[in-house]
């Protein structure tokens, strides 16, 4: 991997060498999850680190630019749509998110898949934005083979209830969630309420010390304020001596005006993690 290639492309494609986009179609909880796999240019030496992306709620804010940038550096990037989101089967529930990501990670770590896509099984990373940040943190706690986990402007359902933000959470589900497959906004909210302690990023945070951790806050974030949703986790991880990097970017929740800076932060962290 070479982070200097984030915004650099080869002058022309070469037969059999140019990057590829392949469909993703695997099963989680009896439902098919759809997405795609970005495979880097074969003129870059493999095996390649793999980055598995987890989208936020409901996925309006995509990370395609970050995915393509990481592909250019020499990463295999796996984009998965959670159950009930963007064509994937099943209904959307917060408790399904970790299971979906776990299924994808175990699939990517399978020797048949690592050989097929040239993945370095020792360098698989989870990267998630917003609700996807919560998802990658929670999934990583049960995946010892993961090299590192990066959460970008992570939303923490546990913190939302601790800080009495129930109305804001329900409104987000009711309005933004209209594009999702779900029985009702009320059912999705009750799923969050009943499982708030399990879903909290602070639940079992000690297990994250097995991995390299990157937390990136959006300093102007009004959706997932870092002071209540990311800094408590960072403080706890630092207290137990975890390998954690914490970055602050002056922008709103989507990082819309600082996407290139975000890409540099994530790529640089992955490159350092591999080198160490």
CA 149 to each of CA 95, 128, 182: distance values in angstroms, whole numbers, following the listed order: 19, 8, 28
- What is the architecture, at CATH level 2, of domain 3-275? 3-Layer(aba) Sandwich (3.40)
DSSP 101: H
Listed residue (133, 163, 86) closest to 255, CA to CA: 133
Domain boundaries in the chain? 3-275
pLDDT band of 40, cuts 50, 70, 90: very high
| 42-95: pLDDT as tens digits | 999 999 999 999 999 997 888 999 999 999 999 999 999 999 999 999 999 999
pLDDT band of 16, cuts 50, 70, 90: confident
Percent with pLDDT over 70 in the chain: 100
Work out the angle at residue 35's Cα, subtended by the Cα atoms of residues 245 and 190, and round it to the nearest 5 degrees: 75
pTM over 0.85: yes
Q: Using an 8 Å Cβ cutoff, are 213 and 182 in contact?
A: no
CA 184 to each of CA 58, 167, 177, 189: distance values in angstroms, whole numbers, following the listed order: 14, 16, 9, 9
HEC assignment per residue over 135-170: HHHHHHCCCCCCCEEEEECCCCHHHHHHCCCHHHHH
Residues sharing a CB contact under 8 Å with residue 190, sequence separation 6 or more, in sequence order: none
CA distance 162 to 170: 15
């Amino acid at each position: 991997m070479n982070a200097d290639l984030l915004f650099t492309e080869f002058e022309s494609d070469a037969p059999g060498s140019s990057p590829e986009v392949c469909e993703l179609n695997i099963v989680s909880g009896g439902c098919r999850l759809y997405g795609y796999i970005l495979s880097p240019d074969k003129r870059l030496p493999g095996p390649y680190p793999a980055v598995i992306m987890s989208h936020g709620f409901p996925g309006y804010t995509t990370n395609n630019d970050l995915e393509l940038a990481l592909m250019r550096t020499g990463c295999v990037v796996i984009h998965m749509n959670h159950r009930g989101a963007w064509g994937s089967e099943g209904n959307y529930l917060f408790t399904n998110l970790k299971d979906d990501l776990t299924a994808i990670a175990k699939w990517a770590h399978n020797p048949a898949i690592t050989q097929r896509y040239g993945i370095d099984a020792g360098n698989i990373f989870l990267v998630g934005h917003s609700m996807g940040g919560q998802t990658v943190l929670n999934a990583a706690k049960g995946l010892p083979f993961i090299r590192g986990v990066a959460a970008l402007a992570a939303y923490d359902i546990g913190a939302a209830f601790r800080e009495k933000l129930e109305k804001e959470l329900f409104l987000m589900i009711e309005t933004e969630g209209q594009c999702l497959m779900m029985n009702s906004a009320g059912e999705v909210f009750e799923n969050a309420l009943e499982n708030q302690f399990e879903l909290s990023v602070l639940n079992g945070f000690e297990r994250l010390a097995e991995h390299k951790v990157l937390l990136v806050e959006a300093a102007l974030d009004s959706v997932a304020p870092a002071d209540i949703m990311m800094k408590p986790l960072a403080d706890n991880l630092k207290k137990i001596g975890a390998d954690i990097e914490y970055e602050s970017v002056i922008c709103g929740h989507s990082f819309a005006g600082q996407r290139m800076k975000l890409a540099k932060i994530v790529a640089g962290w992955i490159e350092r993690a591999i080198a160490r």
